[in-house]
């Protein structure tokens, strides 16, 4: 890989889960960022054998004290000159708070140099209408999000954070507007919304086909209004774990690249917020999202091909007779393994994806009334 | 990176230490193997903030039970189809034994398919004449090494394992011969010997200049005799941590590549031992070592340049007056940080190093009497 294919030098502190086998959490995020040239420090919040989607795993969780101690280890040896922090899953409210303290400390150190530190926060709380963390994790996130520069909730997490039930394009825009307003967080991306599941809010918007995933992003203007863009990507008929982590990691690398490619003043602007006259689709956040989704689409497509081939291959039975329940369990394990994202063998799609899905402006009709 | 620049698909279980910041242990090994296209499962034996060369760190050690549980997590979900295991540092004799049990289990599973599993064992015990593990770790390694396919001791560890004090080229050859004989381990590489520190054993051998590091390797013949090769590399005037881990990781990738490029029968030969008529310098182990050392030389040279530039840059004093002791400590921390190996930004040297140092045959005079 030629050096000119790498993103600008970026020192990242990545705080998330570690799994021995497979690609989720920091295991996914580290390799994705490293393959694009980032220098990654990985602070692992859990040490599991595999991701929980297998429905069984072994391992241990780091306590808040252990997370804090690791960070103290870094500070006492002056190893905290990070450009970006990416924080993901932490296994308890106390652990989430410990991660928050780290983010705030790094932010304080960078205070005199606006733009020299950027915090990407993935508020991992749940999905598909259901929390998969303890209830007390929600207020822990709500307290720390106003320190983050970019948050990456999924649709459910955006509802939890905004208090807005997302049922249409305009309620989606309302949720993002509320997140900007409540938490003063300048950049938001809602990952993977199925627009076809939402009620049409305007006849002007041709809803994308059912098998489309939409990613919605926004960078605030100085008056607090959202600058909304959307990117539609064909959905693949397969469930993959770790795609949220992959999205977040690639966004770290690509957003920094886009900011370095923009007007040099942006790099020294607090939170990398573009001037008001930059339209939504020209935002570094939009440009980054386009590249990230292009890479992910290619890699997930390759993963699905490999997965299908693996699942079609004959299973060598060891002669055991399995109950229906055991058979289903074995099938689920096999499917989970086959769907592990193939990131390492497809570096070229990380670097130079072969398709791109454009960032689109929103129709005015789909914006909340005050912004039409 | 084009797919054809990657090594053959290789699933590796890497068992070693994790550090949040910097590149040693599994942190180094994972990224080095991943950048060459290996699919790495990383079982971390310690979770430290940074490497111990900084002389201060925080973090926790995995117990033998935790290591065993993580492996059980893999087995219960059928996630153990590894082609190679790379085992490095473990923090206690019990942990070393737990890692040994994992290696033996993987070996047993592969028994019916010779060559389908290969165990690279780095017997991390000490360096420069001194153990840095508990005394009981030595017998733990001595018990398990006869299961490994390749071991990578440094000069001191080779002395501990062979019982031969290495003072000359011929005692070095004797030590390797003893390791083959005592442990029945088919492949041995002794990393970084300073030949100029050894007494000349033969007038025929022109000792390399003082600033040369020599790597010595051997694959046994069927009669148990060693097939010795050596590679001389110019030493760099800088101490780097993690180079042993880097050597081991790159050897995993390059050895598998060399074995796949050899006669196809080798791939299904137990422990990938080449037929007796393959000369030492044509061994996959020798070819691999040449590539590994070429990559490492380029990357360490780039690291030294970057380190020197970093150390020459003005230190911004925060106005504190430091005692002589504090000043020395700060200097050591700064030097340790500056010498972290720059692996991520120099992928091209991993893939296609620009220099090569050839593998050389040994002079007969430098071999133990029975093999001259």
pLDDT (tens digit, 9 = 90+) per residue, A322-348? 899 999 999 999 999 999 999 999 999
Mean of pLDDT values over B309-327:
82
Using the predicted structure, report yes or no on whether residue A205 has a pLDDT greater than 70: no
How far away is chain B from the Cα of A315, in angstroms, using its nearest Cα? 13
Q: For residue B28, name the pLDDT band (cuts at 50, 70, 90).
A: very high
Task: Tell me what pLDDT residue B192 has.
Answer: 79
User: Cα A234–A235–A237 angle (5° rounding)?
Assistant: 135
CB-based contacts of B4: which residues, under 8 Å, 6+ apart? none
- For residue A154, what is the DSSP state? B
CA distance A77 to A72: 9
Name the percent of chain B lying above pLDDT 90.
Answer: 82
Q: For residue A200, name the pLDDT band (cuts at 50, 70, 90).
A: low
CA distance B86 to B88: 7
Chain A CB contacts of B326 below 8 Å: none
Positive/negative CA dihedral, B222, B223, B224, B230: negative
CA distances to B92, B100, B146, B164, B230 from B140, rounded to whole Å, are: 9, 9, 12, 19, 29
Task: Tell me what pLDDT residue A371 has.
Answer: 74
User: Which of the pair, A257 or B201, is modelled with greater confidence?
Assistant: A257
Question: What's the whole-number average pLDDT of chain A?
Answer: 93
Task: Tell me what pLDDT residue A203 has.
Answer: 47
How far away is chain A from the Cα of B22, in angstroms, using its nearest Cα? 7
Closest chain B CA to residue A34: B344
Do B1 and A351 count as a contact with CB atoms less than 8 A apart?
Answer: yes
DSSP characters over A84-105: EEEE---SSHHHHHHHHHHHHH
Cα dihedral angle (B249, B251, B254, B258), rounded to 10 degrees? Answer: -150
Q: For residue A192, name the pLDDT band (cuts at 50, 70, 90).
A: confident
How far away is chain B from the Cα of A49, in angstroms, using its nearest Cα? 5
Name the percent of chain A lying above pLDDT 90.
Answer: 82
Mean of pLDDT values over B80-98:
98
**Residue in the structure block whose two tokens are 């307003």:** A181
Do B351 and A70 count as a contact with CB atoms less than 8 A apart?
Answer: no
Chain B CB contacts of A341 below 8 Å: none
Task: Tell me what pLDDT residue B314 has.
Answer: 66
Task: Tell me what pLDDT residue B4 has.
Answer: 63
What is the value of pTM for the model shown? 0.96
Mean of pLDDT values over A117-140:
95
pLDDT digits 0-9 by tens, B210-237: 788 899 999 999 999 999 999 999 999 8
Using the predicted structure, report yes or no on whether residue B319 has a pLDDT greater than 70: no
Task: Tell me what pLDDT residue B200 has.
Answer: 61
Question: What's the whole-number average pLDDT of chain B?
Answer: 93
pLDDT digits 0-9 by tens, A158-184: 999 999 999 888 899 999 999 999 999
In order of their start, the domains of chain B are 11-366 (3.40.1190.20)
- Could you tell me which residues are beta bridge partners of residue B14? B42, B86
Query: Strands A118-121, A84-87: parallel, antiparallel or unpaired by DSSP?
Result: parallel
Task: Tell me what pLDDT residue A342 has.
Answer: 96
CB B49 within 8 A of CB B58: yes
Task: Tell me what pLDDT residue B357 has.
Answer: 94
How far away is chain A from the Cα of B188, in angstroms, using its nearest Cα? 28
Classify residue B316 by burial, with Cβ atoms within 10 Å: 0-12, 13-18, 19+. Answer: exposed
Task: Tell me what pLDDT residue B169 has.
Answer: 85
Using the predicted structure, report yes or no on whether residue A26 has a pLDDT greater than 90: yes
Of B21, B41, B69, the CB nearest to A79: B21
User: Cα A240–A242–A247 angle (5° rounding)?
Assistant: 110
Using the predicted structure, report yes or no on whether residue A4 has a pLDDT greater than 80: no
Best B40, B344, B354 member to test A by mutation, with max A CBs in 10 Å, is: B344
Mean of pLDDT values over A45-72:
98
Tokens of A174: 């309302």
Q: Specify the 3-state DSSP secondary structure of A150.
A: strand
Task: Tell me what pLDDT residue A202 has.
Answer: 54
Mean of pLDDT values over A285-301:
97
Best B52, B68, B70, B295 member to test A by mutation, with max A CBs in 10 Å, is: B70
Mean of pLDDT values over B58-86:
98
Q: Chain B, 26-85: which have a CB under 8 Å from a chain A CB?
A: 27, 30-31, 34-35, 37-44, 47-50, 54, 56-60, 62, 66, 69-74, 76-79
Is the CB of residue B354 less than 8 Å away from at least one CB of chain A? no
Chain A CB contacts of B54 below 8 Å: 77
pLDDT digits 0-9 by tens, A216-267: 999 999 999 999 999 999 999 899 999 999 999 999 999 999 999 999 999 9
């Amino acid at each position: 890989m030629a050096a000119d294919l790498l993103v600008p030098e970026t020192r990242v502190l990545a705080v998330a889960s570690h799994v021995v086998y497979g690609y989720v959490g920091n295991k996914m995020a580290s390799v994705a960022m490293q393959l694009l040239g980032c220098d990654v420090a990985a602070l692992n919040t859990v040490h599991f054998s595999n991701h929980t989607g297998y429905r069984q795993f072994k391992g241990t969780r780091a306590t808040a004290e252990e997370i804090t101690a690791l960070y103290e280890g870094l500070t006492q040896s002056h190893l905290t000159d990070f450009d970006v922090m990416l924080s993901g899953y932490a296994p308890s409210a106390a652990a989430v708070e410990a991660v928050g303290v780290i983010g705030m400390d790094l932010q304080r150190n960078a205070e005199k140099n606006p733009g020299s530190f950027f915090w990407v926060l993935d508020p991992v709380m749940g999905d598909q209408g259901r929390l998969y963390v303890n209830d007390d994790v929600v207020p822990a996130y709500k307290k720390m999000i106003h320190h983050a520069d970019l948050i990456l909730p999924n649709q459910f997490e955006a509802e939890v954070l905004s208090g807005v039930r997302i049922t249409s394009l305009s309620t989606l825009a309302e949720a993002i507007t509320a997140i900007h307003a409540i938490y003063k967080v300048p950049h938001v991306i809602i990952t993977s919304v199925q627009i076809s599941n939402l009620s049409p809010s305007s006849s002007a918007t041709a809803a994308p086909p059912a098998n489309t995933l939409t990613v919605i992003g926004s960078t605030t203007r100085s008056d607090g209004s959202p600058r909304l863009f959307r990117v539609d990507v064909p959905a693949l008929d397969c469930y993959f774990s770790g795609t949220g982590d992959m999205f977040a990691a690639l966004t770290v690398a690509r957003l920094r690249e886009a900011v370095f490619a923009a007007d040099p003043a942006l790099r020294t602007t607090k939170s990398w917020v573009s001037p008001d006259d930059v339209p939504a689709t020209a935002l570094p956040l939009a440009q980054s999202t386009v590249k990230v989704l292009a890479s992910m689409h290619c890699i997930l497509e390759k993963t699905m091909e490999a997965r299908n081939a693996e699942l079609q291959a004959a299973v060598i039975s060891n002669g055991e007779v399995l109950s229906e329940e055991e058979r289903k369990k074995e099938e689920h394990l096999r499917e989970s393994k086959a769907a592990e994202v193939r990131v390492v063998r497809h570096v070229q799609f990380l670097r130079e994806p072969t398709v791109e899905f454009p960032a689109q402006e929103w129709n005015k009709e789909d914006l909340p009334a005050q912004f039409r």
